[in-house]
């Protein structure tokens, strides 16, 4: 919650400070943003390992708590005021539990003592629409919504401290899910052609296409569909990002004749 409040405060401050300036900028026809940031997972992605596993929490979390994201998007404005645009985005998200030390007592002697880790990677293709509130101002707040296609993979491993089995690892079978993403932020113009962008978004990655697969001894499925023994798992997370903006298609500056 503190991270969300900090982001909102930064967005408001940027908008207020730059909004005090009388300067206006030409409105681009097309904009490209390149950005990166931090990802904070929500239930049922995060969890406490091995406590939630041993307690029989239903549904079982994926145990990936946070990570990083980077990507780019392009926006083409379709109305005369350049407030409404269609957008296409590509985002790569890396989520992880980090290395978690466990003991015989924690694991109920299933694996022994060692280090456990879960990783998940999500490649997202989004298409949607954006509304800009002040396209001529230095600070331009925006909101957008996208429908997403998500290609998901991952890996789980356990490195044992001694014992007959040195380590164990399994790869997630690649899965495709469809979802929705809601974003907001501020695009701050530094010049006619370059600016900076800061914002956040909420992504529900597996709104459609949930499935359940058995897996093998060395692979496992995403298994987010409800079964007779487990509730369906919701893959949702918050992303905070910042980056550079590049503007194209502005009207040329008028020629001033002396």
Helix (H, G, I), strand (E, B) or coil at 156: strand
Residue 178 to residues 93, 115, 237, Cα–Cα distance (Å): 15, 33, 14
For residue 233, give the nearest of 66, 47, 40 by alpha carbon. 47
The tokens describing 251, both together, are 């009207």
**What would the mean pLDDT of 205-233 be, rounded to a whole number?**
92
The tokens describing 99, both together, are 């290395």
For residue 235, give the nearest of 155, 160, 157, 152 by alpha carbon. 152
DSSP-derived secondary structure for 198-232: EEEEEEEEEEE--------SSEE----S--SSS--
Q: Distance from CA of residue 226 to its chain's centroid?
A: 24
Helix (H, G, I), strand (E, B) or coil at 4: helix
Mean pLDDT of the chain: 86
How many whole angstroms separate alpha carbon 68 and alpha carbon 152? 15
- Partners of 239 in beta bridges: 39, 201
Q: Whole-structure pTM over 0.75, yes or no?
A: yes
Identify which has the larger pLDDT, 1 or 50. 50
Q: What is the pLDDT of residues 149-162, one digit of tens each?
A: 999 999 999 887 75
For residue 45, give the nearest of 228, 224, 230 by alpha carbon. 224
Kindly tell me if the per-residue pLDDT of 257 is higher than 60.
no
Which pLDDT belongs to residue 105? 47
Identify which has the larger pLDDT, 15 or 23. 23
């Amino acid at each position: 919650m503190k991270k969300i409040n900090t982001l909102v405060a930064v967005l408001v401050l940027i908008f207020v400070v730059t909004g005090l300036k009388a300067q206006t900028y030409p409105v681009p026809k097309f904009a490209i943003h390149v950005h990166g940031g931090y990802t904070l997972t929500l239930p049922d992605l995060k969890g406490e390992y091995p406590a939630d596993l041993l307690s029989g929490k239903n549904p079982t979390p994926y145990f990936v708590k946070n990570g990083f994201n980077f990507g780019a998007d392009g926006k083409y404005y379709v109305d005369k005021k350049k407030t409404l645009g269609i957008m296409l985005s590509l985002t790569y998200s890396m989520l992880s539990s980090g290395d978690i030390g466990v003991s015989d007592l924690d694991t109920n002697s299933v694996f022994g003592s060692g280090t456990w880790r879960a990783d998940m990677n999500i490649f997202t293709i989004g298409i949607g629409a954006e509304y800009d509130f002040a396209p001529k101002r230095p600070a331009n707040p925006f909101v957008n919504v996208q429908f997403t296609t998500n290609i998901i993979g991952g890996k789980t491993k356990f490195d044992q401290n001694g014992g007959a089995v040195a380590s164990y690892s399994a790869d997630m079978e690649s899965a495709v899910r469809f979802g929705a993403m809601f974003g907001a932020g501020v695009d701050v113009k530094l010049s006619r052609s370059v600016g900076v962008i800061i914002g956040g978004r909420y992504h529900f990655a597996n709104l459609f296409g949930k499935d359940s697969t058995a897996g093998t001894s060395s692979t496992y499925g995403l298994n987010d569909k409800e079964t007779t023994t487990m509730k369906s798992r919701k893959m949702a997370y918050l992303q905070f990002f910042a980056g550079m903006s590049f503007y194209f298609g502005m009207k040329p500056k008028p020629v001033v004749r002396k």
